[in-house]
Structure 1
Amino acid sequence: MTWQPSMDWATAQQRAKLLSTIRSFFNNRNVVEVETPQMCSGTITDVHLDPIVANYDWHHEGVNKLYLQTSPEYPMKRLLASGYQSIYQIAKAFRNEAEGRLHNPEFTMLEWYRLGFSMKDLIDEVSELLVETLSVSSTDIQSYEHAFLAHTQLNPLETSLAECLAFIEQHGKLEPWLEATTSLDTLLQFIFCEWVEPKIGQLVPCFIHSFPSSQASLATINTDDARVANRFECYFKGVELVNGFHELTDKEQQLRRFAEDNNQREQMGAQTRAVDDKFIAALAEGLPACSGVALGIDRLIMLAMGKQSISEVMTFTTQNA
């Protein structure tokens, strides 16, 4: 056991300066800082994320199950639907996953929403923030299809399960769980992580946009090419930094996607999750056209300072909290 922090005083001062730089960035653009609850009655249905549950029992009147938020997305969208304009938040987020060099169950997330922005508009703004905070001269932008073809010679928008399995086997990484999957997206994600991510964003941050529509998450579908969604991510030196969308505003389509998530969860033998009714009610009221993005602050600061692990830029990790 150790009671001491994992981040030293000199690093703490540098972290504070970077956070100040980020706040100045948004202040200069009239994007307003907000706060939303870290514990909410609803949570995500995402098959790849597990929330941490907090059981709240006031005066022993019965346990009220609350969820530590995996991101501030749903409550921030409720603000937008109520009339708020462009907003940002630097918030604690919580995910029930193992600690590691790039992961801690409790971490700091920067999330912001820009009314009237297209996906391209937001990529440009994220790029400006990264140039300022990472001291890089520029960023790179590629489509998912282009990056996939360049590093695997597979077209992710036209490939098949059999073709992906053959590629993985050819490169000596085929495992039983991959052979057993019936999800093309699972194989595409595995191939992307193994053969694309290590090759992109090594000198400057690299934005990958227009993911397959089956990986749309909460993004709109491209009106010119229904095979892809208006979603982007950004990678730098092997680290995923950013996940952004031109946001889905249609209540019925969002409900269908939540149902698809729960269907997948059932097929995986995982527990299904109730839909966040307050978020759906906000969509029914009307979420304005906007684009939004989430950025891992601890990872950004780690890269900006040339550190090897996010534990070096956090006062206490969960293991030592």
Structure 2
Amino acid sequence: MTTETDWQPTASLETIKLRANLLSKIRSYFQQQNVLEVETPVMSHAAVCDVHIECFSTDFKPVSQFEGKTVYLHTSPEYAMKRLLAAGSGDIYQVCKVFRNGEAGGRHNPEFSMLEWYRVGLDHHQLMDDVTGLLSHVCDFTELRRVSYQQLFEEHLGINPHRTATQQLTKLVKEKVDSELSGLERNALLELLFTHLIEPSLGWSAENKLAGVYVYDFPASMAALSRVQLDTEGQQVASRFELFIDGVELANGYNELADAIEQEKRFKHDRGKRQELGYEVNPIDEHLLSALRGGLPDCAGVALGVDRLLMLLAGTHSIADVLSFDFSHS
């Protein structure tokens, strides 16, 4: 049921102006860095295969034809931007709306703003420098530390997450997170331990000031679209990082996988997992695989949640406070 005031914005005018100022500063940073702003389609004939991300789909219905086609709203501009990189674009960035089906409320809105950029010739460690450079340009930001996933688990739980037996992880989850949980796979167990017992302590924010922690060398099983490498102990790890401020994941960066054969293998694995779980199985982006076969330059890329950054700057825990109209008022 609607009321007489439901038409009004969920964000204050002050916060709407804060967003405009933030977007202006983001663009000025990349202009100074000679990074090209691009636009890519919101709709695609293919969709993300990630087990944990659900897409919105709609039907394209050609005029005067009976047969239509299902298209998908992008959950990230990543695939299309990599096609531009393979075509020789050089360093690029994009600010766009992305769409993910599922949760609404709190920190989540089905439609939200993402900043994504790619730097040719950099790895994920060098890209952390770039993220710090951007955040220092747009706000008062301090980088607290860069720490490996393993080191955090050793500090907080006294275990090596790469080598601890799954049975032991299950025991820890039951003892420290939820005694009723059972039958979870290794990645799910690690994720529960991380989000409940480690993540809340990472970084801090105060009035107009932010401080963050970079976490890198995630387990190889969490590589997604990043490369896999050996760490100093000879363990396989994902060449990626996440940035946390106030216990909130703000950015997710990769040393990008350029191997088309490995990428197709991961896509098929994720599709198989989705089918096993009874989820909708989405079509693979063959254009991306063709681009990788054509040659993706060595590069690192990162996605940063613009709305989450605004929430930190505005000192709010509700995404509705930084959106002109959140999902319940759209």
CA distance in 2, matches of 1:34, 1:210: 30
| One-letter code aligned to 2:43 | M
1-structure distance, mates of 2:307, 2:225: 24
Q: Which residue of 1 aligns with 2:188?
A: 186
Q: Distance in 1 between matches of 2:289 and 2:177?
A: 45
The alignment status of 1:29 with 2:18, answered yes or no, reads no
- Distance in structure 2 (CA, Å) of the matches to 1:172 and 1:270: 26
2: CA distance, partners of 1:297 / 1:97: 19
Q: How many residues align?
A: 318
Consecutive unaligned residues of structure 1, counting only runs of 5 or more, are none
Matched residue, 2:74: 69
**TM-score, normalised relative to structure 1:** 0.96
Aligned to 1:101: 106
| Contact 2:86/2:294, CA 8 A, preserved across alignment | yes
Deviation (angstroms), 1:223: 4.3
Q: Is the 8 A contact 2:217 2:239 kept in 1?
A: yes
SS in 2 for 1:222: strand
The reply to whether residue 237 of structure 1 matches residue 254 of structure 2 is no
Alignment correspondent of 2:90: 85
Measure, in 1, the Cα distance between the counterparts of 2:142 and 2:326.
Answer: 32
Task: Pick which of 195-204 and 43-52 moved more.
Answer: 195-204
Deviation string, structure 1 residues 19-67 (Cα, Å, up to 9, x no partner)? 1111111111000100000011111100000110021112152221110
Rounded to whole Å, the distance in 2 between the matches of 1:56 and 1:273 is: 16
The answer to whether the aligner puts 1:5 opposite 2:14 as a matched pair is no
Matched, 1:220 2:227: yes
Aligned counterpart in structure 1 of residue 156 of structure 2, from 148, 151, 154: 151
Q: TM-score, normalised by structure 2?
A: 0.93
Q: How far has the Cα of 1:259 moved from its partner? A: 1.2
Task: Pick from 57, 61, 70 the counterpart of residue 57 of structure 1.
Answer: 61
Report what 2:129 is aligned to. Answer: 124
Deviation per CA, 1:149-170: give whole Å up to 9, x if none.
Answer: 1111121011122101111222
The match for 2:42 among 28, 38, 43 is: 38
The residue type equivalent to 2:215 in the other structure is: I
Rounded Cα–Cα distance in structure 1 between residues aligned with 2:144 and 2:115 = 19
What is the CA–CA distance in structure 2 between the aligned matches of 1:92 and 1:60, rounded to whole Å? 31
| TM-aligned CA deviation for residue 283 of structure 1 | 0.8
1:269 equivalent to 2:269? Answer: no
Report sequence identity in percent.
40
SS for the counterpart of 1:137 is strand
